[in-house]
């Protein structure tokens, strides 16, 4: 790994909407950003890490009214919860922005005025369907069942009001050209086509003000002076929110000017707001004649024990409770390692415990414990060896270590932190493997103390280097490991032991308590699970073992027409988070078009040529303006979703009986 010059690095989380307490999704996003920021600080970069809260909009105004509060008091309380949790989680942010900050409002009004004076903003009248929950407008063709939001499924409201519009459609060609010239702009790359297809489908000009509520940023004073009717307008929440990435840097406001950090290296967002960041935001920046961010990286959602999280169901994961029970670093490790970036993840205590016991206790903790135990027993914690001999005897292992270390930075830069950790864990497997192969206890019996000293010093160097790379993801644990060697997490040690490849030739080890004790049982009680279990037990007790619930007759079964078909075409359905559009050959005059909510589990490419089971006599239905002519059968459990397929290839149209 070559030594690099320090540079400025700007990374942001989304600003979180203050309509509820922080949940696991908020924590996941922020931990990703914190890990990337820590990695770049470790390398010696000048880092600016921004997070904060989004506090305007109709939904906030309504929530405050329901609680009998004015909106400012309401948002003050919830914003403080986010700030407090990030402090408890030791999130090392540089600035916490709130959209109610006066400096942010200055920036938004200045940006609006600049775009207006350029001719990119004009006044008109808007009529369309508005989703209060998503703070988004949708055309009728985008709606589900002609009234429901395609993103959250809730019923929209038909609005007609005076509005200012941003000429989004005028930037479609420029956006497509930018995506083409910057293939790594959207991460993971699998999300890129989704955005491109959305733009190619046609961009309507964007309504950017509202007059039906008051909780928002007013128009610039220059527009208020020219037209008193403008007093009733407030900024559309997404224009307001996105400008935060500039206002935190002092863009046309009273904050210290840090615009030399722009453009942002990464905006880390959830997949539900990718469109706003990858389409609207670049268009706004083009209008302001500012450089575009280098990367927009969108992650997936979290479920709980295989089910969607919902307050009404009572299965929302509170990250604070998990951390209090299992520890901060264990939680950080789990969410970063458990799911590939961009895909949905499932939280369960069983999976968390398995990660702690298998990865943290068995692999990492065991290697450190064995090093400390043998060093104390054989050498009174003092290790020393001739480096030239160590390098000669472990030339192959040192080469393997270097290959692993060299692979890590690219994984972090692509925001594939799960793969970063997978690669890093190969070092611990390598160390444990060396112990199993060399059996140092036998070498000691045979009087080969020099060989054992070399082996233990090699393990010390593995753990030292691994701890430096572990520190962005598990800062507390990395500090404890490095303390064993009398070191700490610092750019200086990263430069010496990673960039320059230095090896310790002697060290006095300082024993520490066991890092990751094994966990034998769940530490958090889930009352919902208990009541559900009792309910299931009582139901099952009433049923004879051979009886079934909701039985159907043979006549009912004969009405079902399930056939084998081959998927001959698959593509992402623009503007949908879940659906893929498939063409399935059932041996009929033409293929069937079937929409399937499987985008989180399959890519279009891996479906081509796959045989599936299709419910062929299901009444056709329209989804997102597209006809769906059947249903593909699938099974879902804690491991995800998979199509039901024939064991051997069958003729298309074969009936299942």
Residue 2 lies in a domain: no
User: Which is more confidently placed, 522 or 548?
Assistant: 522
Predicted pLDDT at 291: 98
- For residues 288 and 380, state if they share a domain: no
Asked if residue 543 has pLDDT above 50, the reply is no
Query: What are the residues whose beta carbons fall under 8 Å from the beta carbon of 507, sequence distance 6 or more?
Result: 382, 383, 457, 460, 485, 486
Distances in Å between the Cα of 483 and the Cα atoms of 59, 117, 122 are 49, 58, 61
Q: How does residue 549 score in pLDDT terms, banded at 50, 70 and 90?
A: low
- For residues 368 and 477, state if they share a domain: yes
Lowest mean pLDDT among 138-142, 304-308, 601-605, 653-657: 138-142
pLDDT over 70 for what percent of the chain? Answer: 94
Predicted pLDDT at 480: 98
Residue 136 lies in a domain: no
In this prediction, residues 2-25 reach a mean pLDDT of 86
Task: Measure the CA–CA gap between 253 and 196, rounded to whole angstroms.
Answer: 34
- The residue from 508, 539, 567 where one domain ends is 508
Lowest mean pLDDT among 100-109, 244-253, 355-364, 634-643: 634-643
- For residues 371 and 316, state if they share a domain: no
In this prediction, residues 135-160 reach a mean pLDDT of 81
Which CATH number is 471's domain given?
Answer: 1.10.730.10
Residues present in the chain in total: 657
- For residues 559 and 485, state if they share a domain: no
Tokens for 82, please give them: 């986010």
Shortest CA distance to 184 belongs to which of 413, 7, 493, 12? 413
Asked if residue 140 has pLDDT above 90, the reply is no
Q: How does residue 141 score in pLDDT terms, banded at 50, 70 and 90?
A: confident
CB–CB of 565/611 below 8 Å? yes
In this prediction, residues 585-597 reach a mean pLDDT of 89
- For residues 314 and 226, state if they share a domain: yes
Predicted pLDDT at 411: 97
Task: Measure the CA–CA gap between 571 and 599, rounded to whole angstroms.
Answer: 10
Among positive and negative, which fits the CA dihedral 376, 378, 382, 385? negative
Structural domain boundaries enclosing 475:
361-508
Residue 70 lies in a domain: yes
Predicted pLDDT at 539: 43
Asked if residue 537 has pLDDT above 60, the reply is no
299-334 burial, b if ≥16 CB within 10 A, otherwise e?
Answer: bbbbbbbeeebeeeeebbbebbebbebbbbbbbbbb
Asked if residue 180 has pLDDT above 50, the reply is yes
Residue 141 lies in a domain: no
In this prediction, residues 408-421 reach a mean pLDDT of 97
CB–CB of 597/626 below 8 Å? no
- For residues 177 and 311, state if they share a domain: yes
- For residues 408 and 469, state if they share a domain: yes
Which CATH number is 629's domain given?
Answer: 2.40.50.140
Task: Measure the CA–CA gap between 101 and 50, rounded to whole angstroms.
Answer: 14
Residue 199 lies in a domain: yes
- For residues 300 and 386, state if they share a domain: no
Q: What mean pLDDT is reported for the chain?
A: 91
Distances in Å between the Cα of 232 and the Cα atoms of 120, 131, 164, 210, 238 are 21, 21, 12, 8, 18
Residue 135 lies in a domain: no
Predicted pLDDT at 237: 79
Task: Measure the CA–CA gap between 69 and 585, rounded to whole angstroms.
Answer: 58
Residue 134, annotated as binding a ligand? yes
- For residues 498 and 401, state if they share a domain: yes
Residue 338 lies in a domain: no
Lowest mean pLDDT among 230-244, 541-555, 612-626: 541-555
CB–CB of 187/295 below 8 Å? yes
Q: How does residue 536 score in pLDDT terms, banded at 50, 70 and 90?
A: very low
Task: Report pLDDT digits (tens) over 438-468.
Answer: 999 999 999 999 999 999 999 999 999 999 9
Which CATH number is 195's domain given?
Answer: 3.40.50.620
Predicted pLDDT at 600: 78
In this prediction, residues 515-537 reach a mean pLDDT of 69
- For residues 394 and 457, state if they share a domain: yes
Predicted pLDDT at 546: 53
Containing H/E element for 225?
A: helix 221-226
If one counts the domains in the chain, the total is 3
Predicted pLDDT at 385: 95
Q: How does residue 540 score in pLDDT terms, banded at 50, 70 and 90?
A: very low
Predicted pLDDT at 626: 86
Residue 152, annotated as binding a ligand? yes
Q: How does residue 558 score in pLDDT terms, banded at 50, 70 and 90?
A: confident
Task: Measure the CA–CA gap between 199 and 185, rounded to whole angstroms.
Answer: 15
CB–CB of 464/504 below 8 Å? yes
Task: Measure the CA–CA gap between 319 and 524, rounded to whole angstroms.
Answer: 12
How many CA atoms are closer than 13 Å to the CA of 146, on its beta-carbon side? 1
Predicted pLDDT at 541: 42
Predicted pLDDT at 606: 80
Asked if residue 16 has pLDDT above 80, the reply is yes
- For residues 65 and 208, state if they share a domain: yes
Neighbours of 536 (CB within 10 A): 10
- The residue from 295, 322, 349 where one domain ends is 322
Q: How does residue 589 score in pLDDT terms, banded at 50, 70 and 90?
A: confident
Phi, psi of 446 (to 5 degrees): -90, 10
Asked if residue 21 has pLDDT above 90, the reply is no
CB–CB of 581/625 below 8 Å? no
CB–CB of 263/8 below 8 Å? no
Task: Report pLDDT digits (tens) over 24-55.
Answer: 999 999 999 999 999 999 999 999 999 999 99
Predicted pLDDT at 143: 86
Residue 59 lies in a domain: yes
């Amino acid at each position: 790994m070559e030594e690099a010059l320090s540079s400025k690095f700007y990374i942001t989380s989304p600003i979180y909407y203050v309509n509820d307490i922080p949940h696991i999704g908020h924590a996941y996003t922020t931990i990703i950003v914190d890990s990337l920021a820590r990695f770049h600080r470790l390398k010696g970069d000048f880092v600016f890490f921004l997070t904060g809260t989004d506090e305007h909009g109709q939904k906030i105004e309504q929530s405050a009214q329901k609680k009998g509060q004015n909106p400012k008091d309401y948002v003050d309380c919830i914003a403080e919860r986010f700030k407090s949790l990030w402090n408890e989680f030791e999130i090392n942010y540089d600035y916490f922005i709130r959209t109610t900050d006066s400096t942010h409002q200055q920036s938004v009004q200045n940006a609006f005025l600049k775009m207006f004076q350029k001719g990119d903003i004009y006044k008109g009248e808007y009529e369309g369907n508005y989703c209060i929950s998503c703070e988004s407008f949708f055309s009728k063709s985008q709606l589900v069942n002609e009234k429901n939001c395609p993103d959250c499924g809730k019923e929209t409201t038909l609005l007609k009001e005076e509005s200012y519009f941003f000429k989004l459609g005028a930037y479609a060609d420029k956006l497509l050209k930018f995506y083409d010239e910057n293939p790594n702009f959207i991460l993971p790359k699998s999300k890129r086509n989704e955005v491109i297809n959305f733009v190619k489908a046609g961009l309507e000009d964007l309504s950017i003000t509202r007059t039906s509520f008051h909780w928002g940023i007013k128009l610039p004073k220059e527009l208020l002076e020219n037209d008193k009717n403008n007093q009733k307008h407030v900024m559309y929440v997404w224009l307001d929110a996105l400008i935060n990435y500039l206002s935190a840097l002092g863009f046309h406001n009273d904050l210290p000017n840090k615009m030399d950090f722009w453009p942002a290296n990464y905006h880390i967002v959830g997949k539900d707001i990718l469109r706003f960041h990858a389409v609207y935001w670049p268009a706004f920046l083009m209008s302001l004649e500012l450089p575009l961010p280098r990367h927009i990286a969108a992650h997936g959602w979290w479920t709980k024990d295989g089910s969607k999280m919902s307050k009404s169901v009572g299965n929302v994961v509170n990250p604070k409770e998990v951390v209090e029970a299992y520890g901060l670093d264990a939680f950080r490790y789990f969410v970063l390692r458990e799911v590939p970036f961009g895909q949905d993840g499932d939280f369960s205590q069983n999976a968390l415990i398995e990660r702690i016991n298998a990865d943290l206790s068995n692999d990492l903790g065991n290697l450190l414990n064995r090093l400390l135990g043998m060093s104390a027993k054989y050498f009174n914690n003092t290790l020393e060896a001739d480096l030239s001999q160590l390098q000669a005897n472990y030339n192959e292992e040192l080469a393997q270590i270097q290959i692993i270390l060299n692979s890590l930075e690219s994984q972090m830069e692509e925001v594939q932190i799960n793969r970063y950790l997978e690669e890093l864990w190969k070092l611990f497997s390598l160390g444990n493997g060396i112990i199993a192969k060399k059996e140092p206890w036998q070498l000691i019996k045979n009087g080969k103390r020099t060989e054992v000293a070399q082996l233990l010093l090699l393990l010390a160097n593995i753990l030292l280097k691994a701890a430096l790379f572990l520190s962005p993801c598990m800062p507390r644990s990395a500090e404890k490991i490095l303390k064993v060697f009398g070191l700490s997490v610092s750019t200086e040690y990263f430069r010496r032991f990673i960039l320059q490849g230095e090896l310790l030739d002697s060290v006095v080890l300082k024993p520490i308590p066991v890092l990751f004790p094994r966990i034998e049982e769940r530490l958090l009680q889930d009352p919902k699970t208990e009541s559900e279990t009792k309910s299931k037990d009582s139901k099952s007790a009433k049923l004879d073992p051979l009886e079934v619930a909701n039985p159907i007759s043979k006549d009912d079964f004969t009405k079902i027409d399930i056939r084998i078909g081959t998927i001959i075409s698959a593509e992402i359905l623009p503007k949908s988070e879940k659906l893929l559009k498939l063409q399935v050959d059932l041996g009929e005059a033409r293929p069937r078009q079937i929409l399937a909510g499987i985008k989180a589990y399959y890519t279009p490419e891996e479906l081509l040529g796959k045989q599936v089971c299709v419910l062929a006599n299901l009444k056709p239905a329209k989804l997102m303006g597209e006809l769906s002519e059947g249903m593909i059968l699938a099974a879902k459990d804690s491991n995800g979703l998979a199509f039901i397929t024939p064991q051997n290839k069958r003729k298309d149209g074969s009936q299942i009986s």
